[in-house]
Chain A
Amino acid sequence: QKEVEQDPGPLSVPEGAIVSLNCTYSNSAFQYFMWYRQYSRKGPELLMYTYSSGNKEDGRFTAQVDKSSKYISLFIRDSQPSDSATYLCAMSDSGGSNYKLTFGKGTLLTVNP
């Protein structure tokens, strides 16, 4: 079993839809959770950064962490064509000096006008 599982999609939705992107993980030491957005031919852009369980909202984006289920989600409300990108979840442990992020494979999202 991989440490982080993410459905690669592709996911295609109409403009204005609510999008739900998800990752599951197996390592209970993961405490810090990130979502990156990567446009074609660009580097990953940090969208959301959350610690442990709970929700965090930023504009149209909401990150949700459920540590009991080892499950994280990113919700995009009122999706726009400009949201079309690959979304990568990433997570890390309790902050030691091992530097490592563990990434999901990424989900390719297309929002159709």
Chain B
Amino acid sequence: DTEVTQTPKHLVMGMTNKKSLKCEQHMGHRAMYWYKQKAKKPPELMFVYSYEKLSINESVPSRFSPECPNSSLLNLHLHALQPEDSALYLCASSQQGFSNQPQHFGDGTRLSIL
């Protein structure tokens, strides 16, 4: 079992729906990340939170809205998504937000947009 927990594991939603993905870690890590992964591709960075503040937004469309309520929790709010947004959404965490620290991933939420 991973130490980064993501819920739900699967999500199917229509293009007009609003839903949220949740990520939780209890390793005391202060940096948390959202990635998007398409089939047979490596993960692509979307957002980085460091000490609960948004540090990086990789030019992600506004239909994706991240939130970090506290140091253990990370949410990704979804609204008006497109079929091309169907992918595996991965959460990761690291001790702090430095690139020399390994990131630990959850098992992801598999999202399908109808």
Residues of A within 8 A of B (CB): 8, 31-32, 34, 36, 41-46, 49, 51, 88, 92-101, 103-106
The answer to whether B99 touches A100, judged by C-beta atoms less than 8 angstroms apart, is: yes
Name the B residues within 8 Å of A31 (CB-CB): 100
- Name the 4 nearest CB pairs between A and B, nearest first: A95-B100, A103-B42, A43-B105, A92-B99
Interface residue from A49, A98, A99, A103 paired with B102 (Cβ < 8 Å): A49
Q: Which of B40, B56, B102, B106 contacts A43 (CB 8 A)?
A: B106
Inter-subunit contact A95/B106 (CB<8 Å): no
Tell whether A97 pairs with B100 under 8 Å between CB atoms, given A43-B107, A45-B105, A105-B41: no
Q: Which residues of B contact A95 (CB under 8 A)?
A: 98-101
A-B contact pairs, 11 of them (CB 8 A): A43-B2, A43-B108, A88-B42, A93-B99, A95-B99, A99-B33, A99-B55, A100-B99, A101-B45, A101-B99, A101-B103
Q: Contacts A43-B107, A105-B42; is A34 near B102 (CB within 8 Å)?
A: yes
Specify which chain B residues have a CB less than 8 angstroms from the CB of A32 in the assembled complex: 99-100
Chain B hits for A98, CB < 8 A: 99
- Complex CA–CA separation, A42 to B4 (angstroms): 12
Give A6's nearest chain B residue, CB to CB. Answer: B42
Q: Most A CB atoms within 10 A — which of B4, B45, B56, B102?
A: B102
Distance A100 CA – B46 CA, assembled complex (angstroms): 11
Q: In the docked arrangement, what's the CA distance between A104 and B6, Å? A: 24
Q: Are B99 and A41 in contact (CB under 8 A)?
A: no
Contact of B90 among A43, A93, A94, A105 (CB under 8 A): A43
Complex formed: what's the CA distance from A96 to B50 in Å?
13
